[in-house]
Amino acid sequence: MRITLLAGGVGGARFLRGLRAAAPQAQITVIGNTGDDINLFGLHVCPDLDTVMYTLGGGISEEQGWGRADESYTVQSELTAYGAGPDWFTLGDRDFATHIVRTSMLSAGLPLSAVTGKLCERWRPGVTLLPMTDDDVQTHVLIDDDAGTRTVHFQEWWVRLHAKVPARAFIAAGAERSTPAPGVLQAIADADFILLPPSNPVVSIGVILAVPGIAEAVAARTVVGVSPVIGGAPVRGMADACLAAIGVRSTAAAVAAHYGPGLLNGWLVDTADAAATGAAELAGIAVRARPLYMTDIDAAAEIAAAAISLAQELAHD
Amino acid sequence: MRITLLAGGVGGARFLRGLRAAAPQAQITVIGNTGDDINLFGLHVCPDLDTVMYTLGGGISEEQGWGRADESYTVQSELTAYGAGPDWFTLGDRDFATHIVRTSMLSAGLPLSAVTGKLCERWRPGVTLLPMTDDDVQTHVLIDDDAGTRTVHFQEWWVRLHAKVPARAFIAAGAERSTPAPGVLQAIADADFILLPPSNPVVSIGVILAVPGIAEAVAARTVVGVSPVIGGAPVRGMADACLAAIGVRSTAAAVAAHYGPGLLNGWLVDTADAAATGAAELAGIAVRARPLYMTDIDAAAEIAAAAISLAQELAHD
């Protein structure tokens, strides 16, 4: 069985851990969001790719959901002593090593996809992890604040401003000139089906779909998604602030409608949302309701198994 | 009083700490060796500049003589886990922050001299620290080993091979195309006198003198040196291996003769070497003997005071 996913950070990574348990024989390819990537202190940081890599490789901080376990912060406190660069983005010493190795390989001319493969030789995540593109695509956020109407990097809005300044729009800067990384379109074409884990529909999966060619390739396949919204609120993070910016309500049904039947064939919602969503068809999208809280790996595996079942059912229709 | 020094790492830094104590009102400019600089993990490491900066700024590891006090090694152990080379050059977490900041500023287009000035804003070393050049000059070592006759970076020979493979020659690669960093020639011209601390005559001071223009400027001034050799052996490090490669014996007299009366006007030797050197004139170089072991800052200050006295005496001749 071949399964390809479009994934952001924490939600995608935790779903993937369940998927790997539910389908240990499956060949899983993860197309990761790189719109959140940011250059900090001259180093290339890939928050979403690293969260997937660390989570599946056993190095994640379980408490945070991102960053390394057993982390220390000596480098960053020294950087602060130098008055260097942003202090609102926390990088631990172990994490710094990843960014140092990545930046060194990028500077030597390797594309991000090859670099990611090299980093995964250490972490052995059990999946093929691909960046959506090797090109520079950055998610920017259009905001109004005391400095006027301006765009800020997604991380500045998300981490420094805690997504509290209303976003007027998200811009995947550079996306129009980007191409999918090597292997991305093939992994979509070769997969038995595509899964959308409960990642942020706007700034994670939405940005991946903004890379020319990916949305069309995905739409041609059987696609099953897992709602990141339960009971009218995102399970984690501040996806509601992102949805609000693009005029989508924070409900499981609204997110499915946002993806639309042209992209999405099946949609898992939480039992709490079964009534509101309608347990039957939602505008051409097959809906199934079940508990969606990924409280542990077993719970994530059961959700993943349900997604596989629905995808197989739809693929054979 | 204006004093300008050409300095390498540990010996130069410890002498400088004494000099600062002996002449607290003096304007001291240090022209630091950058031939030892090495790119590790994509980061620009300046061992000699950092040793001076950390020593005078109170951040040095007193035990090692180089690197930061209270250091940890998380980043390097993670780099090793990635299989990222080399593992023979130890960099601590605090030290990494310096190289990250430096590399970031260099990548942004600042020359090394400006970057060094920025780093010193934190360390306040009490001297003006200048790299000998902003250009890429690397000390390479010509060796014969199982891989044939080849050149290796000085740090590989010094740190990885422990200077045990005989050096056939030292090459200041790129020196012929380099120019002194901004302020270097002015600091030499404006100084009341020039001091050569007990740094390595070959790979520290010798490499600085290889930058076109510096040797001529220094030779035009009153120059007093402090012997790095006591009793026929270098006080620290493996300078004897460097001296042997260029056919100079490891004696205080031989090092003075290597610099020569065209460059050197005065020479401090240890009392142990007084008889062998001749306490009087050595081929046109004024020699004074006194204890030269820098056992603590006070001892270093007394040596520095003796160097100042000799320089003032010679400058007034």
Residues of B (107-166) whose Cβ lies below 8 Å from A = 107-108, 119, 121-122
Contact A75 B100 (CB under 8 A): yes
What's the gap in Å between the CA of A66 and the closest CA on chain B?
17
Torsion of CA A154, A156, A159, A162, to 10 degrees: -90
In the numeric block, the tokens 């960014």 are attached to: A99
User: What pLDDT is recorded for position A13?
Assistant: 98
DSSP B197: -
pLDDT (tens digit per residue) in B43-62: 999 999 999 999 999 999 99
* pLDDT confidence tier of residue B278, bands split at 50, 70 and 90: low
Q: Does A42 touch chain B (CB under 8 A)?
A: yes
Q: HSE on the CB side for B1, CA within 13 Å?
A: 17
Q: What stretches of chain B adopt beta strand conformation (E)?
A: 2-7, 27-32, 38-40, 43-45, 128-131, 138-145, 148-153, 167-173, 193-196, 223-226, 229-230, 233-234, 266-269, 281-282, 285-289
Q: Does B74 touch chain A (CB under 8 A)?
A: yes
Evaluate whether B207 touches B174 at the Cβ level (below 8 Å).
no
Q: Which residue of B has its CA nearest to A83?
A: B122
Q: Does B83 touch chain A (CB under 8 A)?
A: yes
User: What pLDDT is recorded for position B283?
Assistant: 79
What's the gap in Å between the CA of A180 and the closest CA on chain B?
26
Contact B94 A104 (CB under 8 A): no
Domain range list for chain A: 2-33+180-315, 138-176
Average pLDDT in chain B: 95
User: What pLDDT is recorded for position A72?
Assistant: 98
In the numeric block, the tokens 């969503």 are attached to: A277
Q: Does A83 touch chain B (CB under 8 A)?
A: yes
End-to-end CA distance of chain B, in Å? 18
Which residues of A are less than 8 Å from B81 in CB distance?
A: 97, 122
pLDDT (tens digit per residue) in A126-140: 999 999 999 999 999
Distance of alpha carbon A47 from alpha carbon A40, whole angstroms: 12
* pLDDT confidence tier of residue B316, bands split at 50, 70 and 90: confident
Query: Which amino acid makes up residue B294?
Result: M
Contact B101 A79 (CB under 8 A): yes
Best of A50, A54, A76, A104 to disrupt the B interface by mutation (most B CBs within 10 Å)?
Answer: A104
Q: Does B79 touch chain A (CB under 8 A)?
A: yes
Best of B44, B71, B82, B106 to disrupt the A interface by mutation (most A CBs within 10 Å)?
Answer: B82
pLDDT above 70: residue B280:
no
Give the one of B79, B104, B108 whose C-beta lies nearest to A97's C-beta.
Answer: B79
- Specify the pTM: 0.94
Best of B41, B93, B116, B121 to disrupt the A interface by mutation (most A CBs within 10 Å)?
Answer: B93
Contact A79 B97 (CB under 8 A): yes
Contact B84 A101 (CB under 8 A): yes
User: What pLDDT is recorded for position A278?
Assistant: 64
Residues of A (215-234) whose Cβ lies below 8 Å from B = none
CA gyration radius for chain A?
A: 19
User: What pLDDT is recorded for position A61?
Assistant: 97
Distance of alpha carbon A16 from alpha carbon A138, whole angstroms: 24
Give the one of A85, A93, A100 whose C-beta lies nearest to B43's C-beta.
Answer: A100
Which residues of B are less than 8 Å from A84 in CB distance?
A: 97, 100-101, 104
In the numeric block, the tokens 């740090």 are attached to: B155
Topology at the third CATH level for domain B2-33+177-315? Rossmann fold (3.40.50)
- Mean per-residue pLDDT, B196-210: 97
Span B38-131: which CATH code? 1.10.8.240
Q: What is the mean pLDDT of each run of 10 residues along chain A (317 residues)?
A: 97 98 98 97 97 98 96 97 91 98 97 98 98 98 92 94 93 97 98 98 97 98 97 85 93 94 96 76 87 97 98 89
What's the gap in Å between the CA of A103 and the closest CA on chain B?
7
Evaluate whether B259 touches B201 at the Cβ level (below 8 Å).
yes
Give the one of A42, A82, A97 whose C-beta lies nearest to B75's C-beta.
Answer: A97
Q: Does B39 touch chain A (CB under 8 A)?
A: no
Distance of alpha carbon B127 from alpha carbon B31, whole angstroms: 10
Strand partners, B61: none
3-state class of B213 per DSSP? coil
pLDDT (tens digit per residue) in B69-115: 999 999 999 999 999 978 899 999 999 999 999 999 999 999 999 99
Give the one of B72, B78, B107 whose C-beta lies nearest to A97's C-beta.
Answer: B78
Contact B74 A72 (CB under 8 A): yes
Which residues of A are less than 8 Å from B82 in CB distance?
A: 97-98, 101, 119, 122
Which residues of A are less than 8 Å from B79 in CB distance?
A: 97, 100-101
User: What pLDDT is recorded for position B36?
Assistant: 96
Among A179-193, B227-241, B268-282, the range of highest mean pLDDT: A179-193
User: What pLDDT is recorded for position B20?
Assistant: 98
The class (CATH top level) of A2-33+180-315 is alpha beta
Q: Which residue of A has its CA nearest to B92?
A: A75
pLDDT above 70: residue B240:
yes
Distance of alpha carbon A269 from alpha carbon A290, whole angstroms: 6
Which residues of B are less than 8 Å from A72 in CB distance?
A: 72, 74, 93
Which residues of B are less than 8 Å from A93 in CB distance?
A: 72, 74-75, 78, 93
Which residues of A are less than 8 Å from B93 in CB distance?
A: 72, 74-75, 78, 93
Contact A75 B79 (CB under 8 A): no
* pLDDT confidence tier of residue B281, bands split at 50, 70 and 90: low
Distance from CA of residue A166 to its chain's centroid?
Answer: 21
Contact A104 B74 (CB under 8 A): no
Distance of alpha carbon A201 from alpha carbon A213, whole angstroms: 18
Contact B74 A93 (CB under 8 A): yes
Contact B41 A104 (CB under 8 A): yes
